Structure 1
Amino acid sequence: MKHTILFLLVSLLAVSCGKQIGQKDGVVIVKVGDNTLTKERLEAEMPPSLSAEDSLIYAEKIIRSWIGDILMYDLASQNMSNKQEVENLLEEYRKSLVVYQYQAHLINEKLSKEINEEEMLRYFEANEDRFKLDQVLVTGLFLKIPIDAPQVSSVREWYKSSAPAALEKIEKYSIQNAVVYEYFYDNWVDYNEIADNLPFYDNTKKVSRNMHIELKDSDFHYFVNIKDCLQIGDNAPYDYAKASIKEIIINQRKKDFLKNVEDDLYQTALGNGQIIFKDK
């Protein structure tokens, strides 16, 4: 079987050179009953940039898998005892798929996804308790410099301050010396993203406001200034919850839109006599 497939593939490369790809029937590679696998379909499933040898190996796997699927389907169809049940399930699935595709088309065509800041802020203020943190958030600064960097004693003073003068000194210093300089005094970040960059640090240690962390290993100094923090279970800040709020509002719009479409369809069908309730 393996040699047969390889022979087919090698022969195909030579025979199909003069045949236009994309013509009606395509170049048939293998046929099982009434089912055919074409060169065009095989090429569509092949990953790009394979060597000639790897292409033959990968193509053989696709062909064997395709043949196996056809044979197993034929065997199952011939020996299935609950054919009507399967047909009913397929019909229900077909209906659901058609409805889903049409609803998606309606939503993309007619439902606006533009949500203004005011609407999101109103939702947040009315539902603030719904947005609880499942991770610690912090604001502050993270600095990583080589172990032999100059002015380390000065950096120890600067990083602890959020005063503009100290921050300006750190920024100028970092251009020449820092491996990592992250400024996040004005936005909340997941503390784990910072802690993961620290050596020998206990991530379970409680984080608090105005907390200073200084560590070093054989290669680097690490400085972290935690200006503010929010703990697990606290209400999430608006900026952090914003993406979730937008998704919630869009999903609610979708539900309301589809409910209105269904109601309109029902009332129209009822009015034109398409729906008839039979008396018992």
Structure 2
Amino acid sequence: MKKGKYYILLIILLAASSCEFLGMESESKMDNTENLVARVGNTFLYKTDISDLTDPSMSAEDSAKITERFIDNWIKKELFVREASSNSKIDQTEIQRKVEAYRYTLISYEYQKLMVEQQLNREVSEEEIKQYYSDNIDNFQLRQNILRGRYLKILQAAQKKADVRRWMKSDRPEDLESLKSYGFQFASDFSLQDSTWINFDDLTKNSPFSTIENKIQFLRRNRYVEESDSLYLYLFRIHEFKLSEQVSPLEYVKEDIKNIIINKRKVEIAKSLENKVYERAKKNEDYEIYK
């Protein structure tokens, strides 16, 4: 069922339940007319229904506008549902069937979600991740070029450019720390976590490297490269790269695999819950099939 249909059914469900509830509640509240805010037919809106719309930090004017807008929308909704309900061409039996079906779906979903959250183990070991990666390696083909490297964008007028170039090309830990310190203070844009895989397009957007036509050739031929424009100098060092359609490194898809494993656990818990409910009902003879 599409989202729009769910929304319509939800309105009908809420309208049906509110009519029944307010019908009972109106008997106890009708005497207290001071609590009434609005009425459409025999359906009432009370002050308690709108008490949480505003908070003390709001101005009186803002609170009044929000409350007025809510009341106006409530009246329009109730009038529309009332009009629709009185239309003889609408199959009320079919509407009720859909309402019950949607109610069943909502209750089942909320209960299932509650049980899953109570039982779900979100801890995923490195061994589980590696095993899933190994078992499903064909599913982890890259859809983009990725790399490990360093990228720095600084003003043409920036100081210590010679030092920056030396730090960019160096593998010494102390030089990398100097480069990071410089980047935080003076760079317009930078990425210096060269142990982390990153999408080539994400790394180089808003730079001259983003307009390279043959990116595969660029990655294969360059390890260190500079580009410039009227304002900025762009420094780019490539440690390692993987091309689109090659197998993704484990580190690049680790979080994806973790989420996949957790979602599989959710499905297993939901199925187990459904089976347990069925088996318990079968044992207790809570249902019967007539032939």
State the SS of the aligned residue for 2:244.
coil
User: Alpha carbons of 1:237 and 1:26: their partners in 2 closer, same or farther (altered >3 Å)?
Assistant: farther
Matched, 1:191 2:203: no
Matches for 1:86-235 after TM superposition, within 5 Å: 86-162=95-171, 164=173, 167=176, 170-171=179-180, 173-174=182-183, 177-199=186-208, 201-202=210-211, 204-206=213-215, 207-209=218-220, 210-235=222-247
CA distance in 2 between counterparts of 1:175 and 1:232 reads 31
Amino acid at match of 2:197: W
User: Alpha carbons of 1:141 and 1:25: their partners in 2 closer, same or farther (altered >3 Å)?
Assistant: farther
User: Alpha carbons of 1:262 and 1:47: their partners in 2 closer, same or farther (altered >3 Å)?
Assistant: same
Correspondence for 1:21: none
State the SS of the aligned residue for 1:187.
coil
Match of 1:73 among 50, 74, 81: 81
Question: RMSD of the TM alignment (CA)?
Answer: 3.0
User: Alpha carbons of 1:197 and 1:36: their partners in 2 closer, same or farther (altered >3 Å)?
Assistant: same
1:57-114: CA deviations, max 9, x gaps? Answer: 4443332221111101000000052100010000011111111111111111123222
Structure 2, gaps ≥5 residues long: 1-31
Correspondence for 2:268: 256
Correspondence for 1:242: 254
CA distance in 2 between counterparts of 1:214 and 1:91 reads 65
CA distance in 2 between counterparts of 1:25 and 1:225 reads 75
CA distance in 2 between counterparts of 1:114 and 1:194 reads 31
More helix by share: 2
In the superposition, the TM-score normalised over structure 1's length comes to 0.77
User: Alpha carbons of 1:176 and 1:87: their partners in 2 closer, same or farther (altered >3 Å)?
Assistant: closer
In the superposition, the TM-score normalised over structure 2's length comes to 0.75
User: Alpha carbons of 1:73 and 1:172: their partners in 2 closer, same or farther (altered >3 Å)?
Assistant: closer
State the SS of the aligned residue for 1:245.
helix
CA distance in 2 between counterparts of 1:201 and 1:102 reads 49
**Residues matched between the structures, number:** 256
2:155–2:233 Cα contact (<8 Å) kept: yes
State the SS of the aligned residue for 2:122.
coil
1:180-232: CA deviations, max 9, x gaps? Answer: 44212211012222211314740544141444332223322111112211222
CA distance in 2 between counterparts of 1:94 and 1:158 reads 63
1:26–1:40 Cα contact (<8 Å) kept: no
Identity over aligned residues, as a percent? Answer: 32
CA distance in 2 between counterparts of 1:173 and 1:113 reads 39
Q: CA deviation at 1:252?
A: 1.5
Amino acid at match of 1:37: L
